Structure 1
Amino acid sequence: MQTLEANFDGLVGPTHNYAGLSFGNVASQNNERSVANPKAAARQGLLKMKRLADLGFAQGVLPPQERPSMRLLRELGFGGKDAEAIAKAAKEAPELLAAASSASAMWTANAATVSPSADTPDHRVHFTPANLCSKLHRAIEHEATHRTLGAIFADPAHFAVHDALPGTPALGDEGAANHTRFCSQYGERGVEFFVYGRSEYRRGPEPKRFPARQTFEASRAVAQRHGLAENAMVFAQQSPDVIDAGVFHNDVIAVGNRSTLFCHERAFVDRKSVYDELHAKLAKHGALLDVIEVPDAQVSVADAVTSYLFNSQLLSRADGSQILVVPGECRENPRVAAYLDELAAKRGPIDEVLVFDLRESMKNGGGPACLRLRVVLSDAERAAVLPGVWINDALFTRLDAWVEKHYRDRLAPQDLTDPMLLVESRTALDELTQILGLGSLYDFQR
C-alpha cells in the first residue's frame, strides 16, 4: 500500500482584493487599496496546481467561500435586501464590508491542522479547522471550512473532521501555517511540530509591534484532540523579533518535509533545543533530522519576508529527491537568488528549485505554501476522497474556462460596493459546486 502527501490548494475567489486587513502581514498592508485582478489571481493558482499535477504530485482543489458574506453583514445589523445591506455597510462601515468581502479563504494553509492516520490512535485522518480568531475577516471562515472538508473527506471510516476550537484569544489557532510533520516515510509514524507565537498562561516572551496569532494552548489542544502521543509531538516558540519583522506565521520563516527542516537561523526561540528535541523524537521513528539553516548573514529576515523564500513548498518525488517551489519574488531579490543557486548546486536534500508566478496572491502576503493544505493519504484514504476535486487535464480545462466566464479582471476597493459582485459570485459558485460534485455547499444554495 502506497501512502503519499497530497496538496489541496485554495481556488482564489471572485472577490480577491487588496483591503489591507491583516495587521502584521507586511505585504497586505503595503498594497492596501491597490487594484486587484481576480481572474489573473485564480489562473496563477490554477497553473501552479496543474504543473505540480503534471509532475506526478497528488493535487486537489478546495473551493472559495461565499463572499461577500451576507451572514456576517446581517449579524452586524445591516438589514434589508442584499443590495440594501451592502449599500448600508458601504456607507456606514466600509471596513466591515471589506472584511465581509475578503477572499482570504484562498490561503488554505490556514484552513485546518491535519494529522495523518499513521499518527492517530483510531487510524483515521483528523482535521481541525482553524478558528482564525485574531482577524475578523478570517474568523468567519471556519464554519464553511468545516462544511467543505466534511463534503470532501466525508467517509467516517477514514476521516474525522472536528469543529474549530473556541474562538477566544487564549486558543488562537491559525492552522497548518504553524504545523509541520516530520517522518521517514509518509505512511510511517511521524513527529508533528507545532509552532506558536505566545502562551496565554505560561507567559514568556512576546512580540511588541505585531500580534502573535498562534497560542501554545491552541496547538496543545489540537494535538490532544487528534490523540497524538507524547513522543510524536514537539512544541516550539517562534522568535518574537521575527514576528515583529512581519513573520506572522511560522511558514513565512520555515518549511519542512519528511525529515528535512528548511528554516532561517532566527526562526525559533532557543533553536538548539528545538533541533535537539526534534532529532531525538524523530530518531525513535527511524529518521535522521536534516536541518538546512539559512544564515542571517546571507539572507536577512527582511529578505525572507519580502521574497517569501520559506513560504515555499518542499515536495518529495517518487525517488525521494526533493523540489522547492518558490514564488518569482525569490528571483528578484539578489541575495535570495544567490542563496537558491548555491542550494541547488550543493545537490543536497533539496536538488531542484521551481519558480512560480503568484504575484496576485503575493501582494496580499500569500505565497506557494499559503495556498495549499497538506494531507497525507493512504491508497484507501485517497480513494475515499470526493473524486471531483483532483486536478487533472479535464478539470483544469473546465476550471480555467469557469474563471474566464465568471471572474473580473479588475477589482478596486470601491468595487466592493457593487451589489452585482454578490450576484456574480453566487452564480459562479453555484456552477462550481456542480463541476466539483460538492452538492449544496453554500448558504445561498440551502
Structure 2
Amino acid sequence: MSTEAKVGAFTLISLALLAFIVIHLSGFSFGGEKGYHIQVLFKQVNGLKPAAFVRYAGVTVGSVKTVEADGLGARVKLHINPGINIPDHALVTISGDGLMGEKFINILPGDMESDTYLLDGAVVQGVDERGMEYLMANAGTTLDELQTLIKSLNDVLGNEQVKNSMIESAKNIKTMTDNFNHMSIVMERMAVNNEQDLRVMITNLSMMSQSAKSAADGMDRMIRDFSRDGQTAEQMRQAIVNLSSTSRRIENMAANLEPVVADPQTAQDLKTILASAKNVTARADTMMSQVSNITAEPGIDFLYSGGKDQWMTNFDLKVSTSPNQFLLLGVDDIGGDDQTNLQLGSGNDTLAGRVGIIDSKVGIGVDSYINDKLKFSLDAYDPNDIRLKFRGQYEFMPDTYLVGQTNNVNKSAERVTYFGIRRTF
C-alpha cells in the first residue's frame, strides 16, 4: 500500500472515530430521541428553565424540554429517560438545590402502590410550591404567636405561687427519699441477720417499692415543669440520688430473700418487688441524666455607642438541653425598643447555628468560637428589609467579656457600633 493510501485510510478512520464520539456525547440517536414526554401544569414556575433536571425519588431521570405560558399558568414539557415508570398518582413539584440553587422538577412517588403509569403525552397537574413570598406573608402572624407564647411563659414562670409550690414539692420529696434511704439501710441489715419474720419484711418491702414508684412519678412531673432555681435543682438532684440508692437496696434485699422463700405466693411477691425496684432504679438514673444535662446561663450586656442611641442594655438566657442543642431567649435594648429574641440553636465547640426571632424579626445566626475566650457572631434578619448584625466578644476575666457590636452593617445610614461589657452568671 502506498504512503498516500495509508494517510488516506488513517484520516478516514480518525474522522469516523471523531464522529462517533461527538454523536455519543451529544446523545443523538438516528432512531429519534429515546424515552417519552409528559406535560405538567403549574400556576407559576418560579425561575424554572429549560434543560433543568427532572428527579424521581431523588434520582435524575430526565430534563425539562420547554417552559411556556398557556393563559391559565405555565405548561412544562418533560423528557423522561427510557425504562423509567412513573405512577399516575405521583406528585410533581418545583424544588431548588438550597436557598439560591437552581430550580428543578421533583417527582415524588406518593404513598399508594400503583400498577398504572404515565404514558407518552400524558398531562398532569403539578403541585405549586410555597416559596419565600409565602414565608414573608406569614412571618407577621408567626411573630405575633411567638410573642404571645413568650408572654404566657413569663406569666407562668414569673408567678411566685408557682415557684413556691415547686420549691416546697422539691423539699417534700427530698425529705421522703431521706426517710426511704434510712428505712432501706435498716431493713437490709434485718434481711441479712434474719431479725424479723420474712413475710412481714416482704410486706414492708412491697410498701416501700410502691412509695418509691410514687416518688419517681412526682420527680418525673417536676423535671417536666422544672424551673432553674439553683436551690430547687440541688434538692432534686439529692432526692434522685436517695431514690436510686433506696431502689438498689430494695433490689439487693429481694435478691437475698428469694433463695430462702418456700411459699409460692411470697416468692411471686418477691419477684414483683424485684421488678419494680429495677424499674425505679432505671428511672432514677434517667432522671439524674436529664437534670444533669439541663443548664441555664443568664447574661447581661452594657453597651455604649458614643452617638445616637448611646446606651443599650441587653439581657439573654441560654438554656442548654444537651451538649449540642440550646434555646436562646432574651430582650435587646431594654427600656428602648425592647427587641425580642427567641432562637433554637445547635452546634459544637467550634461552630453553632441559630434560627428563630432576632430583634423581633425572623432571622438566622452563626456563632464561630475561635478559642475558649474569643467568639464572633453574625446575624441576618428581617426578610422584608434584610439587616446584618456583627458581634465579637473576648473573655478577659472569668464570666466577664469585652464586647464590640455593629448593627445594620449593610446599611451605612443606619449603621451603629457599640462597645461595652458583658457579664454571665
TM, length-normalised to structure 2: 0.21
Bigger Rg, structure 1 or 2: 2
Q: Whose RCO is larger (CA < 8 A, sep 6+)? A: 1
TM, length-normalised to structure 1: 0.21
